[in-house]
Structure 1
Amino acid sequence: MSLAVLKSRALAGMQAPEVTVEVHLANGIPSFTIVGLPDTEVKESKDRVRAALQNAGFEFPARRITVNLAPAELPKESGRFDLPIALGILAASGQMPGDALNDYEFAGELSLSGALRPIRGALAMTYAMHRSPAAGGGQRAFILPRANADEAALVADARIHPADSLLAVCAHFAARDAQTRLPRHEAAPLPARACHPDFTDVKGQARAKRALEVAAAGGHSVLLVGPPGTGKSMLASRFPGILPSMTDDEALESAAVQSLTSGFCFSRWKVRPYRSPHHTASGVALVGGGGSPRPGEISLAHRGVLFLDELPEFDRRVLEVLREPLESGHITISRAGKQADFPARFQLIAAMNPCPCGYLGHPANKCRCTPEQVGRYQGKLSGPLLDRIDMQILVSALPHEELLQQADGEPSARIAGRVDAARQRQLARQGKANHALGTAEIDAQCRPDYAAEQLLRQAMTRLNWSARAYHRVLKVARTIADLAGETRVGAAEVSEAIQYRRALREQ
């Protein structure tokens, strides 16, 4: 048999399309050619595969070897095709049986000694294979490096066979009894959920804590505004600890995105991501990109928290790219000949000083900024971006007497209990969190009573809200009612929601 056909997977954003690896051996001048739009990393597999086969004790055929990676129009990158190419050469040259290859998919980078090295995107590839009708609805097994086995096994019912080397894979197909085959990898016991810093450490700031509780319950974005040292970053770092627990589907989505950058850590399973990029981050770092598009910070924060400290210090063009994903929950990266879609359902928590010196409104330190400087500083944030942030909270400086007292804040676990109960009410009523409600759903689920409607009319006239701002206030009010267990949105809920929509220039 001079032809062998195996299955593998490529990565195209969050998608992992099936790739057919065809290996053909023909007579003629010895050569080794890889076709099918391979990237440089794939082309270099020729040298890795040759050395791995020879060092593992196999014969490298002195024939004309052609490897085709189909479909031809799909770009192929990374060293994950080393293992299927090597196995294809062995099967085509008759050095290993190839009758059972159709029941498996393969991925793995080979070292020169034949050992298997980990690859990125193993979880995304396994997830795609398990859902693919072409793979028999997940009937195929997946052979991949042992270092990737734990993350791949997170996909329920997936058949994972980890291997340490090329020799171990060949022994699996040559074995006549089950004892010498590669054992199926079972999912490791899930680790205990990592602990986040607790809200009991935060002194005072009852209003800011209440606002973050509302934000966590409804999935709303928040901008914290206050002088330096008032606890904005401290509050943000504790925010993930009060979010509702991740479902299995949410955890799998989040882990699959992180596996695309080799950043998935098994100990962080079902722990909401918390990303805090520096203000010097570029637009590509924030939203993703590159020659072979990879996810940025907003996608790595999928189903978690994206914290942007010192918000006005970010380049304005960088901040403007947040506008679309804040609304849509995904980002599309387009390059010449390539396009990749990444999920980006993150919860934005941002923090900033009210002025360049930071002390505007501080009770003790006098602000040294002119009104023009304050306006220019706050003007770094565009109106359309601010319009998309649900809540703007003033975090005031604490009196010295309160700072000297022992911290006695409410524990995060207790706050998380109320948040989870409110979120369950939302899911039971509408199947989604309040922040994701559409226009028609807002009219149906967030309709205020008469007194609340009159209060909204006055606020809209005075504050000159846009339609988006009006809808966001209603959604926040609905969340406040859910926390209180109320079925209707009343004047008290609307009044509190309006206070969370305070314009920066009014401070």
Structure 2
Amino acid sequence: MEKTAKTKTKKINSATLEGFEAQKVEVESSFTKGLPGFAIVGLGSQAIQESKERIKSALLNNDFEFPPLKITINLAPADLPKSGSQLDLPIALSILYHKKNIDLSEYLVLGELGLDGSLKDTNSIFPIILSLKPKKVIIPLQSAEKVSKIPGVEVYAFSHIKEFEEFEPKKVENNDFNYSHIKIEGKKYYYLENFELDFKDVLGQNQAKEAALISAAGFHNILFEGSPGVGKSMIIGRMRYILPPMSLEEILEVEKYNSLEGKEVTFKPVRPFRSPHYSSTKAAIFGGGSRGAKIGEIAFANKGMLFFDELPHFQKDVLENLRLPLQDKKVLISRVNSKIEYETDILFAAAMNPCPCGNLLSTNKECRCTELEIKRYKNRISEPLYDRIEIYLQMTEDDSKDTVSSKEMFEKILTAFEIQKGEFNANLPENYKFDMKNGAYEILKKAIVNFGLSKRSEFNLLKVAKTVANINKRNKIQKEDLLKALQFRRR
């Protein structure tokens, strides 16, 4: 029996997303004599199966030969589910170059094809490259501006399939950030001084503004309790714009999530702010899904703030499951077919009324709630969750007109950030040794006895005190720093 002739198998490197981390995919192509056909194997999604028509049209519409052979494309590893139209380009190039000796083995190739042969950006290209950090990439010109921000990656961009007829890759220069920055130990941290919501709009509430300043400077979790209208949400909403500067790695990480969510990638050094409604499900907050694990609001808030307004109205299982990511700074989602773990380095901010009607602390309105109703309302929040909130303040009506601008507050945060050397006091390791002086240790011992502080409460108190010291341009905790931290401790 006569053997079927075949050409040499070609291989082109590409990738797919699994959850929000990238996995390498090897596009293998084989061309054999027989009835013409075009098959893609290797657990490709519907979008990948539909790529056959896009690729065929793109090649034929640009006067390229589509081989009258039996074409088999294998996406290896074969047992890994693949998705996304970014595999169009490597599949098309494997067909285009089936008779040419062009080696693409040093490149990671990604891109979607239009029917006219134009190359298009996809939401997955930027996160894939950020995750894998390959040395060289071939991508659509539409993707080049954002991908060129990733350090250590050589970008070669094309706008049309015609440009691959004679393969002459041209490198795109890396773009730098033109934002204000500070340098700490040779590393740049970027920031904006455009305060879209300014603290100068908040009249009075000096203690609450001080609590917000300390929380933002050290990334400490914060809870405001008070009657409706005292300014809880107003203050927390303005905290986003005074949060500490961001490193390049943090900006890229934030934009990775924005790209996955389909948002515009801007590379602005503004930390994310997520404020889900209290009716949100556990899956919406933490991630989930029946077929594959998907990320939730807490992941999109990574490196920024997660704000729960009307805290006691959130579902009980949401509040209880919040404890672990606040403590361990990560969440693991396990499903039958997939497991993903993601970072949750967030500043958790919350606001709540003192009772169901909201008037318990009001000096102008009468509370309509019974003691039992108030007890049930507050018992929705467990003590372990309270224990993970480092700054707490009861707010009441304030008729004063004192103001402070966000710019003034941000200057103090920059000072503290430089003393913290680009890290946050909220993330100090449990074995950290605090440096105390001028009677601070004696105050701490009295607080432990008088308030019955647990080890976690004591550690949280010292972290807040250290941030107070940093704001005041000190590294050692003094007596007044500890007393200030005690003012913001829940009793």
TM-score norm. by structure 1 comes to: 0.86
User: Structure 1 residues 71, 376: closer, same or farther in 2, change over 3 A?
Assistant: same
Q: Which runs of 4+ in 1 moved over 6 A?
A: none
Instruction: Give the structure with the larger helix fraction.
Output: 1
* 2:90 equivalent to 1:84: yes
Amino acid at match of 1:261: E
Which residue in 2 is equivalent to 1:54? 60
**Number of aligned residue pairs:** 472
* 2:476 equivalent to 1:488: yes
Determine the C-alpha separation between the residues in 1 that align with 2:157 and 2:288.
31
Query: Which of 126, 138, 141 is the aligned partner of 1:143?
Result: 138
Which residue in 1 is equivalent to 2:429? 438
Which residue in 1 is equivalent to 2:10? 4
Which residue in 1 is equivalent to 2:74? 68
Query: Which of 112, 126, 131 is the aligned partner of 2:129?
Result: 126
Which residue in 1 is equivalent to 2:331? 331
User: Structure 1 residues 33, 396: closer, same or farther in 2, change over 3 A?
Assistant: same
Question: What secondary structure is seen at the aligned counterpart in 1 of 2:142?
Answer: helix
1:394: how far off?
A: 1.6
Matches within 5 A, 1:1-400: 1-92=7-98, 94=99, 97-130=100-133, 132=134, 138=135, 140=136, 142-168=137-163, 170-171=164-165, 173=167, 184=172, 186-187=174-175, 190=178, 193=192, 194-266=194-266, 268-290=267-289, 291-399=291-399
Question: What secondary structure is seen at the aligned counterpart in 1 of 2:17?
Answer: coil
Aligned identity (percent) is 35
1:62: how far off?
A: 3.1
1:436: how far off?
A: 0.9
Structure 2 unaligned spans of 5+: 1-6, 181-191
Determine the C-alpha separation between the residues in 2 that align with 1:396 and 1:151.
46
1:489: how far off?
A: 2.3
Retained in 1: the 8 A contact 2:84–2:124? no
> Which one is further off, 459-468 or 473-482?
459-468
1:228: how far off?
A: 0.8
Q: Deviations over 1:425-461 (max 9, x none)?
A: 122xxx73211112211xx12x545844444344444
Retained in 1: the 8 A contact 2:200–2:403? yes
Retained in 2: the 8 A contact 1:190–1:269? no
Amino acid at match of 1:316: K
Which residue in 2 is equivalent to 1:411? 405
Query: Which of 419, 428, 440 is the aligned partner of 1:425?
Result: 419
1:2: how far off?
A: 4.5
Q: Deviations over 1:330-384 (max 9, x none)?
A: 2222221212222221111111111111111111111111111111111111222
Amino acid at match of 1:418: K
Question: What secondary structure is seen at the aligned counterpart in 1 of 2:362?
Answer: coil
Determine the C-alpha separation between the residues in 1 that align with 2:96 and 2:383.
62
Determine the C-alpha separation between the residues in 1 that align with 2:442 and 2:486.
13
Retained in 1: the 8 A contact 2:292–2:337? no
Structure 1 unaligned spans of 5+: 133-137, 176-180
Q: Deviations over 1:285-322 (max 9, x none)?
A: 22223334343222212211112211122112122222
Determine the C-alpha separation between the residues in 1 that align with 2:490 and 2:389.
11
Question: What secondary structure is seen at the aligned counterpart in 1 of 2:21?
Answer: coil
Q: Deviations over 1:25-84 (max 9, x none)?
A: 112333332222323332332233233333333333332221111222332111111111
Determine the C-alpha separation between the residues in 2 that align with 1:107 and 1:262.
18
Determine the C-alpha separation between the residues in 1 that align with 2:371 and 2:304.
37
Determine the C-alpha separation between the residues in 1 that align with 2:478 and 2:66.
77
Amino acid at match of 2:342: F
Question: What secondary structure is seen at the aligned counterpart in 2 of 1:68?
Answer: strand
Retained in 2: the 8 A contact 1:227–1:354? yes
Question: What secondary structure is seen at the aligned counterpart in 2 of 1:367?
Answer: coil
Amino acid at match of 1:382: S
1:4: how far off?
A: 1.9
1:393: how far off?
A: 1.5
Q: Deviations over 1:156-214 (max 9, x none)?
A: 2422233333233x2451x5xxxxx5562552764784533111111001001111111
Matches within 5 A, 1:460-499: 460-499=448-487
TM-score norm. by structure 2 comes to: 0.89
User: Structure 1 residues 190, 30: closer, same or farther in 2, change over 3 A?
Assistant: farther
Determine the C-alpha separation between the residues in 1 that align with 2:171 and 2:444.
64
Question: What secondary structure is seen at the aligned counterpart in 2 of 1:66?
Answer: strand
Determine the C-alpha separation between the residues in 1 that align with 2:14 and 2:216.
41
Determine the C-alpha separation between the residues in 1 that align with 2:308 and 2:265.
23
Which residue in 2 is equivalent to 1:135? none
Retained in 1: the 8 A contact 2:119–2:159? yes
Determine the C-alpha separation between the residues in 2 that align with 1:292 and 1:79.
18
Q: Deviations over 1:92-125 (max 9, x none)?
A: 2x3xx45132232211222333333321232332
Determine the C-alpha separation between the residues in 1 that align with 2:179 and 2:101.
39
